[in-house]
Structure 1
Amino acid sequence: MNHNTPLSPRTLHHLGEVHRQVLTAAQLRAQGFSAAETSERCRPGGRWQQVLPGVFLLHPGPPTGEELLHAVLKYAARTPQARTTPGVPSQPTAQRPYRPAYAEVMVTGLAALTLHGFSTAPALLSLERIDVLVPRLRRLRSAGCARIVRTADLPAPATVTGLPVAPVPRALADAVAGLPDAEAVRRLLTEAVRGGHCEPAAVVRELTEARLLNLPHIVDAVDSLLAEGRSVAEDRLYRMVREHGLPDPVWNVDLRLPGGPHLGGLDAYWPEQAVAVELDTRAPRQDEDAAGSEYARKREHLERLGITVVHMSPRRLRDTMEQQAAVVRTALMASADRDPAAYVVVLPR
């Protein structure tokens, strides 16, 4: 063989198009190519090129974005050569279906957000590096276009275009960790919520785990994220009332006892039935226990006054809107069987 000899289509017909073009050294050896033959084909002007240590692109010219993603994943996964048992002939290559061995690795960071469909994330080919998430104890270094990101708690990946991709909250945390541009961080976090990719609490939880909430530009972006999350949740609550035929409540009110203390704010309130809806848009921060206790105290106080409080999380409102509407409807219907609630003053919030 010389470096102009094409790879036999017979030996690779079982591979997909990208998998014919991006192979590891182990896969090439399994196809009968020695290290010397591989090196010969990768000489300047040759038909192949080495894009990462142990990963080869079987055509000249720049790789596509999809080829880069597979190259990075193959580099991180380090697909082993197929093992054989002495004295037992190996199964013919054409009968062994190819399975990309991407166990315990996944695309993360900006590349993952691009795959998740973020319009504010850059195009793959414009990225200098592609982040790939691996277990913390994996002995592997960043190289070329592959940047290794380690974690002690590997999340379950999503599958996008057949590739393992970090969930949006984790990908966001890895992306903003390397972004000093406050406006770029704010745009990504806002799109995560506005585009329906995830809830604010999940993002804040990942940022907290990554110890990024001590950076002022990320804290400012999180404040915008939480405001956006509340706005989206309120829009869903309006839609729930309208689409599921509930009577119109009074919106965004404060309750007080006549001449007495402030009882708290509510997102929706039906005065005749003494039923309230409160959206829980808190983010998981260090003071979560204190905030949770305050929520519980307010709810208990209102219920002692005969007011039924329906607590809703943005996620439940998004995923189970019909069920949440049924809970509110049941509470409204049950009001006729309850003792009258205490008289309260309803004020706009």
Structure 2
Amino acid sequence: MRERSDLGVISATTLKSLGIANPWRKCTAGGPWQRMYPGVVLLHNGPPTPDQHLTAALLRAGPSSAVTGAEACRRHGLPAHGRELHLLSPASVRGTGPLIIERCRPMPPVHTIDGFPVVPAARAVVDACRQMRSPDEATALIAASIQRGLCTPTSLREEARTNRFGTKLARTVLKDLGRAESVAERDARRLSHRIRLTTPHWNVTIADSTGLVIGRPDAWFDDVALAWEIDSRAFHYGPRDYERTLARNSRYAAAGILVVQTLPTRLRDQPEQVARELKQAHRAAAARPRPPIRMVEVR
């Protein structure tokens, strides 16, 4: 009997074909088996493993079904915390409890991960976000999928557009990620104007006395050679971006340039603290001899 099961999970139909006319009698309290889902039996009465749970759910969903949502994200190695099991199926099957079975035609392509049919990462992430209510949780998952190279902002946006029902949260997060720099620059300009520092130059190229280009800071206080960088979430998507940030800061330090780094979220949520840091940095920059740094035009 176990040889006809998958990880000890078997359908009631298969059991009946093996001569077990009423398998549910063995699934009563204290019985040797347990009922997982309608028509699905686990051939022991102990706690099922995650793989047994997923096997039973796929058996309930029917042939050609696939895993999506939080469980698919975890199978892809992403930090999704949803407890629901979300499956896609070409058939119309009802889920129960934490099992969500969504009819889907045509079915998306699938990958086999650990022996299970799993949808591509972009579909899994968008479907996981459909079950979320927290923008922070959705942002963390989307950012992780991009950082680890499993998705791109474009692939996620396309998936959210294709599968629009319930994707408002994912689309909002992706929109915010896409406009993070422009929003941050707007907030930075407003803050700079409010605290009445020397009006900075924005997105100008700076070079040393030999003409060697050092960088292109978001804001440049030329009177004291102070750079202000608004390091958006894009800088944290991957190790290469982090390496570029370190290299940029090393060039600033070698040229004697002071730099203030600010996250867009702090501009929005802690503007007074950012203002104090910027004014203190400006005073520190003014107190030391100004390095021979100049603005240049790049042709």
TM over 0.5: yes
Match in the other structure for 2:80: 121
Q: Which runs of 5+ in 2 are unaligned?
A: 181-232, 245-296
Partner of 2:262: none
> Given that residues 23 and 57 in structure 1 are in contact (C-alpha distance below 8 angstroms), is that contact kept between their aligned partners in structure 2?
yes
In the aligned structure 1, how far is the partner of 2:167 from the partner of 2:27?
A: 47
Q: How does 1:18-37 map to 2 (within 5 A)?
A: 19-34=6-21, 36=22
For 2:65 and 2:166, the matched residues in 1 are separated by: 26
Q: State the one-letter code of the partner of 1:121.
A: A
In the alignment, the residues of structure 2 paired with residue 48 and residue 214 of structure 1 have an alpha-carbon distance, to the nearest angstrom, of 39
Does 1:106 find its partner at 2:62?
no
Which structure 2 residues correspond to residues 279-290 of structure 1 after superposition, within 5 A? Answer: none
TM-score (norm 1): 0.50
Q: Is the 8 A contact 1:109 1:175 kept in 2?
A: yes
Tell me, yes or no, if structure 1 residue 52 matches structure 2 residue 37.
yes
**Cα displacement (A) at 1:188:** 0.5
RMSD: 3.0
CA distance in 2, matches of 1:45, 1:214: 43
Q: Give the corresponding residue for 2:170.
A: 218
Q: Which residue of 2 aligns with 1:64?
A: 49
Report sequence identity in percent: 29
In structure 2, distance between residues paired with 1:13 and 1:234: 47
Paired position in structure 1 for 2:115: 162
2:144 maps to: 191
C-alpha distance 213-49 of structure 1, shift in aligned 2 (>3 A): closer
SS in structure 1 opposite 2:156? helix
d(CA) in 2 for partners of 1:214, 1:175: 10
Q: CA deviation at 1:31?
A: 2.6
The answer for the alignment partner of 2:291 in structure 1 is: none
TM-score, normalization by structure 2: 0.58
Q: Answer whether contact 2:33 2:41 (CA < 8 A) is retained.
A: yes
Amino acid in the other structure paired with 1:130: L
**Relative to 1, partners in 2 of residues 1:198 and 1:232: Cα closer, same or farther, differing over 3 Å?**
same
Aligned position for 1:298: none
* Within-5 A mapping of 1:76-95: 76-77=61-62
In 2, Cα distance between the equivalents of 1:152 and 1:12?
A: 33
Q: How many aligned positions are there?
A: 196
Residue 219 (structure 1) shift: 4.0
Contact 1:212 1:218 in 2 (8 A): no
| Deviation readout 1:71-113 (Å, 9 max, x if unpaired) | 0000001xxxxxxxxxxxxxxxxxxxxxxxxx42101100110
SS at structure 2 position matched to 1:346: coil
Give 5+ residue unaligned stretches, structure 1: 1-10, 78-102, 240-344
Alignment of 1:311-330 (within 5 A): none
Counterpart secondary structure, 1:114:
helix
Residue 298 (structure 2) pairs with residue 346 (structure 1): yes
Matches of 1:24 and 1:56, distance apart in 2: 6
The answer as to whether partners of 2:147 and 2:238 remain within 8 angstroms in 1 is no
Matched letter for residue 132 of structure 1: L
1:12 equivalent in alignment to 2:7: no
2:55 is aligned with what amino acid? Answer: H
- Check whether the contact 2:2–2:8 (CA below 8 A) recurs between aligned residues: no
1:133 partnered with 2:133: no
